[in-house]
């Protein structure tokens, strides 16, 4: 006797039919979508000529800063930018203090390339690392913006807001006032050079230096000079571990921020140099 065929309405048969007749096209669509996403991702991370120039400039900045940071006498060339990055560092402390319910009493910068933020309250487990990590995060965002002229314009406005807050907290310290006013003057002046094309390179330089500041400063404090008042030393005293260990961890995070900023800049800004200049003339246009 021939076997009785399964009914078309049976559960097992229906399930197989769904897999063959409905799921297969769905899988095909998923495969096509995945392929498109992979191709889009590869296209977004393709480095064009303008981005190659930006990456070359970043590499040149890294080498120049590494040399100028340590060579006697000529390292004073970096002094104004060091003070600027220290202002970012102190802003990180202050902002973390506010976010954790504390109060910022004052900020002051020291001519010997130091700074201090006087706070009341807040969570020291967050405010202590926020100096280095905050400045490196700001640096990564500025590096990201440095891939595009219009993004650099927006970034300079955001930095101006940070400066105003820092200026408010440091209004009793003359060096803080002078440093911030000079920095604001530099950014504003670059807006009027070649439709703010110069601004992009200044933002990029500040971003690179701010990203690497924590690495070099931690090396100075914990390896070369062994400063016992550094943020990582105080953090280790309160929460355990060694200052060198926390310094290395914060340095790795800082470098990770910088790498993310570079990758994001490549993915987000594929415009050519000519396109950027044209776009800049239509976005908060300036002439000089």
- Rounded CA Rg of the chain: 26
Q: Which residue has the tokens 């690179």?
A: 208
pTM, two decimal places = 0.80
- pLDDT digit string (tens) for 126-176? 999 999 999 999 999 999 999 999 999 999 999 988 888 888 888 888 888
Predicted pLDDT at 225: 58
Residues whose CB falls within 8 Å of the CB of residue 70, separated by 6 or more in sequence, listed in order = none
- pLDDT digit string (tens) for 70-120? 788 888 888 888 888 889 999 999 999 999 999 999 998 877 657 889 999
What are the respective helix, strand and coil percentages of the chain, to the nearest 5? 75, 5, 20
Residues whose CB falls within 8 Å of the CB of residue 11, separated by 6 or more in sequence, listed in order = none
SS (HEC) of 205-270: HHHHHHHHHHHHHHHHHHHHCCCCCCHHHHHHHHHCCCHHHHHHHHHHHHHHHHHHHHHHHHHHCC
């Amino acid at each position: 006797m021939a076997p009785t065929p399964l009914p078309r309405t049976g559960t097992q048969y229906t399930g197989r039919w769904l897999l063959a007749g409905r799921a297969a096209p769905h899988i095909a669509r998923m495969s096509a979508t995945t392929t498109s996403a992979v191709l889009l991702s590869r296209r977004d991370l393709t480095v064009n000529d303008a981005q190659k120039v930006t990456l070359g400039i970043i590499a040149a900045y890294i080498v120049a800063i590494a040399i100028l940071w340590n060579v006697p006498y000529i390292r004073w060339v970096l002094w104004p930018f060091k003070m600027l990055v220290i202002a970012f560092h102190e802003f990180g402390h202050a902002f973390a203090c506010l976010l954790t319910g504390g109060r910022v009493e004052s900020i002051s910068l020291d001519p010997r390339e130091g700074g201090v933020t006087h706070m009341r309250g807040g969570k020291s487990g967050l405010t202590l690392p926020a100096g280095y990590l905050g400045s490196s995060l700001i640096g990564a965002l500025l590096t990201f913006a440095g891939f595009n002229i219009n993004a650099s314009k927006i970034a300079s406005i955001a930095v101006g807001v940070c400066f105003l807050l820092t200026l408010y907290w440091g209004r009793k310290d003359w060096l803080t006032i002078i440093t911030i006013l000079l920095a604001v003057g530099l950014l504003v002046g670059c807006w009027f050079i070649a439709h703010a094309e110069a601004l992009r390179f200044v933002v990029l330089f500040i971003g690179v230096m701010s990203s690497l500041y924590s690495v070099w400063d931690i090396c100075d404090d914990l390896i070369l000079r062994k400063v016992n008042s550094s943020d990582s030393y105080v953090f280790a005293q309160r929460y355990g571990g060694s200052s060198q260990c926390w310094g290395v961890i914060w340095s790795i995070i800082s470098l990770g921020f910088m790498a993310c900023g570079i990758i994001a800049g490549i993915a987000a800004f594929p415009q050519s140099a000519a396109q950027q200049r044209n776009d800049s003339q239509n976005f908060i246009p300036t002439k000089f």
